[in-house]
Structure 1
Amino acid sequence: MSEGERRKGGKGKGGKGDRVMVPPADFRSYYGQQVVKTPVWRHDIAAYLFTGGLAAGSALIAAGADLTGRPALRTTGRVTALAALGASAYFLVNDLGRPARFHHMLRVAKPTSPMSVGTWILSAFGAAAGVAAVAEAAPWLPRDGVVGLAARALPVAGRVGGLAAAATAPALATYTAVLLSDTATPSWHEAYPRLPFVFAGSALASGGAAGLIGAPVAQAGPARTLAVAGAALELTATHGVEHKLGLLSEPFRQGKAGKLLRAARLLTAAGAAGALLGARSRVVSALAGAALLAGSVATRYGVFEAGKASAADPKYTVLPQRERIAARQDS
Structure 2
Amino acid sequence: MPRRSLSAVLTLALAATGCAAHASSDSSKLKIGYFQGAVAGPEAVVVADPALASHVKANIELRPIDSGVAGMAQLRAGAFPVVSGVGNPPFVGAFSSGTDVEVVFAESIDESGLVVSDAIKSNADVKKIGVLVGSTLDFQLRGWLKSQGRTDKVQIASFASEAAEAAAWKAHKIDAVYISQSFLIELKKHGGRVLTTASDIAKLGYAAVNLLAVGTPYARSNRAVVQQLVCQISKAQTLAKGDQAAKYVRPAARFLGVRPDDAVEATKTYPYIPAGEETGWLKGADGKASSGRLAANFQRTAEFLVTQGRAKTVPSLDTIAAHIDPSFWDKAQSGGCS
TM-score normalized by the length of structure 2: 0.28
For the pair shown, the structure with the greater C-alpha radius of gyration is 1
Q: Which has the higher contact order (CA 8 A, sep 6+)?
A: 2
Which of the two has greater helix per residue?
A: 1
Which of the two has greater strand per residue?
A: 2
TM-score normalized by the length of structure 1: 0.29
